[in-house]
Amino acid sequence: MNDNQLLRYSRHILLPQVEYAGQEKLTLSHALIVGAGGLGSPVALYLAASGVGTLTICDFDKVDLTNLQRQIIHNTESVGVNKALSAQHTISQINPEVEVKAVQKKSTQTEMAALVNVADVVIDCSDNSETRYMLNRTCFAQRKPLVSGAAVRFEGQVTVFDFRSKASPCYHCLFPDAGVGQELRCADNGVFSPLVGMVGTMQAAEALKCLIGIGESLQGRLMMLDALTAEWHTVKFARDPACKVCG
């Protein structure tokens, strides 16, 4: 790291769990963020500010006025602009040393596999089960850590599937894909603005811990937040031997 980086990241370097070696790991790391909406906004902002060297941000959607209530990486001037491009622009103003690759299309499974292959950690900030299950299968196949989050109404959840460990359960173990049912979408059910920030910030923290190799991750634990009561609840879960993905 150069002198400017040492100054920029000095508050990280002061932490005994991080120090110079940990911060250097971040500057050499590559994170894949799938979704640049409510969850992806704080994830991208904090990973960029923390000095993760390369960010690939995927989102085929365009910024809408209704997004600005919670998707803090975008602003009024971004309305009508692709979300990945808008995020790239904002990050360039926060930390120009971070390389941001904007993927402005809906990736096929083969294309997503290629993106996951070059990433050190994958953060699922999507809003649909199809993408979640695809990322789960892909990250498991490539043994890449996957940080998962979701938020709707006043309820949020976050967990980690660290497939570098053979003991890690997968998303399918936690939420088996039955192929039926209706998803809860923010566009239909609403979402409390700070909720996505709280969940997304937790995702960013878990991703940074994975990259540096510090602390204890949320592997095998699902943290659930009720923003109305300001209570976090944790549920432990294990790998399902009968799981169709990792069993």
User: For residue 21, which of 160, 164, 207, 211 has the smallest C-alpha distance?
Assistant: 211
pLDDT in tens, 63-92: 999 999 999 999 999 999 999 999 999 999
Tell me the pTM: 0.95
Residues 57/102, Cβ–Cβ less than 8 Å: yes
Give the rounded percent of residues in the chain with a pLDDT score beyond 70: 96
Terminal C-alpha separation, the chain: 42
pLDDT in tens, 135-158: 999 999 999 999 999 999 999 999
3-236: CATH architecture? 3-Layer(aba) Sandwich (3.40)
The mean pLDDT value for 44-54 works out to: 98
pLDDT in tens, 15-48: 999 999 999 999 999 999 999 999 999 999 999 9
User: For residue 85, which of 98, 69, 70, 73 has the smallest C-alpha distance?
Assistant: 73
The pLDDT of residue 64 is 97
Residues 154/228, Cβ–Cβ less than 8 Å: yes
pLDDT in tens, 186-208: 667 899 999 999 999 999 999 99
pLDDT at 181 over 60: no
The mean pLDDT value for 206-218 works out to: 97
The pLDDT of residue 178 is 73
The pLDDT of residue 183 is 67
User: For residue 121, which of 207, 230, 241, 12 has the smallest C-alpha distance?
Assistant: 207
The pLDDT of residue 185 is 66
Domains of the chain, by residue range, sit at 3-236
Cβ neighbours around 228 below 10 Å, total: 11
Residues 50/214, Cβ–Cβ less than 8 Å: no
The pLDDT of residue 188 is 76
Q: pLDDT-derived band of residue 119, with 50, 70 and 90 as boundaries?
A: very high
Give the rounded percent of residues in the chain with a pLDDT score beyond 90: 93
d(CA 4, CA 152): 40
